[in-house]
Structure 1
Amino acid sequence: MSRWRDLTGGVSGSEYAARFEALARGGRDMHGEAAFCAALVPPAARVLDAGCGTGRVMIRLSELGYDCVGVDLDSSMLEVARAQAPELPWFQADLAEFDPARFGVAADFDLVVAAGNVLPLLAPGTEAAVVDRLAVTLRPGGLLVAGFGLDAAHLPVPPTTTLPEYDACCAAAGLVLVDRFATWDGAPYDDGGYAVSVHRLAV
């Protein structure tokens, strides 16, 4: 069972969405992840939102002209995403077993984004399998972008995945580190408790 399901019971979609709506009403920019991705690939590029949740990132990227697909295991989160953007493709699947062909989707994404602590909230021991499955969905030269917490201050669960461990999973999947940042705003990484990593699939 995933750490996310342990944490939420798989029924927190509406509550999760309401929290972000409240932040937006308070003036917070809710589109940092989408802006980060948009700076990496041009409009009309194909983007897979892995662990898409309620669709906040993917819906914004779609509005900016990207060809997006969302995947999540939590049906309550997908219910919110589908209600907000029923015209977009939302699929329920375990990322450790995700096969785009099963859903009639081509495995040639220009970018895969895993925002919102997707990696630390996976089922324990599946991190390498998930990274491998995400790498398989990329075209040669495609990018994997993942942002997640590394310490208790940036995670709702005890930290489990270190950057060296994540980089090792990426290397095993044929991915090479391109850059790393401390925030989705692009601040330089400073060995702090949160990192946004950009890896490229070898050509």
Structure 2
Amino acid sequence: MAPTRWQSENTEAQSRQYVERFAELEKRGADLHGEARMLDALLARKSSVLDAGCGTARLGAELARRGHRVTAVDLDPVFVEAARAHTDLTVHQADLTELDLGVQFDAVVTAGNVMVFMTPGTERAALSNFAAHLVPGGVFVAGFATDRGYTVGQFDEDLAAVGLELEHRFSTWDLRPWHGDAKFAVSVARKPSAAR
């Protein structure tokens, strides 16, 4: 399989710099939990969450701190090592396009540009796996930059193709309104309930 955009554009040293950068930001008291606040508002208490493309798992760890049950997955071994430092998470190293954990979740989230760092052309396969890992009525939330090779339009086509229904779109994690010139898209989609 061709390398992901993340693997093509980053080295192990750059992954380690990423981990160190966020550790330093946390030490300085930077607000790193905007995504978690938004997701926590969407979720019922003690929801099961798949943090797909978890990176250092800062989002998953914060959701776990807020009482949710989190499983985190990433392909990058440096990130998986960092994520495993959060002992309240279940962490797997896996390719999202081949993901099969054998369990469904109340929510799946891909923050931090996960969708635009995949191998070009594999995004729909990953979205299909996310849909398969959602319970009926489960929510999928993705945040990614709009200036990359994978567009919001392509994302919407892929969502529809795998049976996920777009409910909301914002231009930031703090719910600022979506507009066509936005540099970032936060999309909330849902797997249809069994009974409609």
Q: Shorter-chain TM-score: which interval?
A: over 0.9
Other-structure match for 2:118: 122
| Structure 1: tracts of 5 or more residues without a match | 152-158
Please say if 1:186 is aligned against 2:175: yes
State the AA in 2 paired with 1:162: T
**Deviation above 2 Å: which 4+ runs of structure 1?**
9-14, 21-28
| Structure 1 residue 11, shift from structure 2 partner | 4.8
Q: Paired residue for 1:79?
A: 81
Q: In the alignment, is the contact (CA less than 8 A) between 1:12 and 1:77 conserved in 2?
A: no
Instruction: Tell me the number of residue pairs that the alignment of Structure 1 and Structure 2 aligns.
Output: 190
Is the contact made by 1:132 and 1:173 (CA closer than 8 Å) also made in structure 2? Answer: yes
Q: Letter of the 1:167 partner, please give it.
A: D
1:18-75 C-alpha deviation (Å, 9 max, x unpaired): 2112323444210011111101012210100000011100000000000110011011
Equivalent residue number for residue 131 of structure 1: 127
**What's the CA shift for 1:145?**
0.2
Structure 2: how far apart are the matches of 1:143 and 1:183? 18
Superposed, 1:1-203 pairs within 5 Å as 1-82=3-84, 84-101=85-102, 106-107=103-104, 109-151=105-147, 159-191=148-180, 192-203=182-193
The share of aligned pairs that are identical, in percent, is 42
Distance 2:184 2:192 in 1: 25
Separation in 2, partners of 1:133, 1:50: 10
**Shift of the alpha carbon at 1:87?**
4.0
Taking structure 1 as the reference length, the TM-score comes to: 0.90
- The alpha-carbon deviation at position 164 of structure 1 amounts to 1.3
> Does the CA-based 8 Å contact 1:147-1:196 persist in structure 2?
yes
Give me the CA root mean square deviation.
1.3
- Retained in 1: the 8 A contact 2:15–2:78? yes
Question: Normalising by structure 2, what TM-score?
Answer: 0.93
Contact 1:13 1:79 in 2 (8 A): no
Q: Name the stretch that deviates more: 19-28 or 177-186.
A: 19-28
1:138-164 CA deviation, whole Å, 9 max, x = no partner?
00111110000011xxxxxxx111111
SS of residue paired to 2:189: strand
Q: What CA distance in whole angstroms lies between the structure 2 residues aligned with 1:147 and 1:54?
A: 16
Q: In 2, are the aligned partners of 1:11 and 1:76 still within 8 Å (CA)?
A: no
Q: Deviations over 1:55-102 (max 9, x none)?
A: 1000000000001100110111111111x213421001100010012x
- Give the SS at the match of 1:44: coil
Structure 2 residue runs without a partner (length 5+): none
Counterpart-to-counterpart distance in 2, 1:174 and 1:11 = 38
Alpha-carbon contact 2:64-2:88 (below 8 Å) kept: no
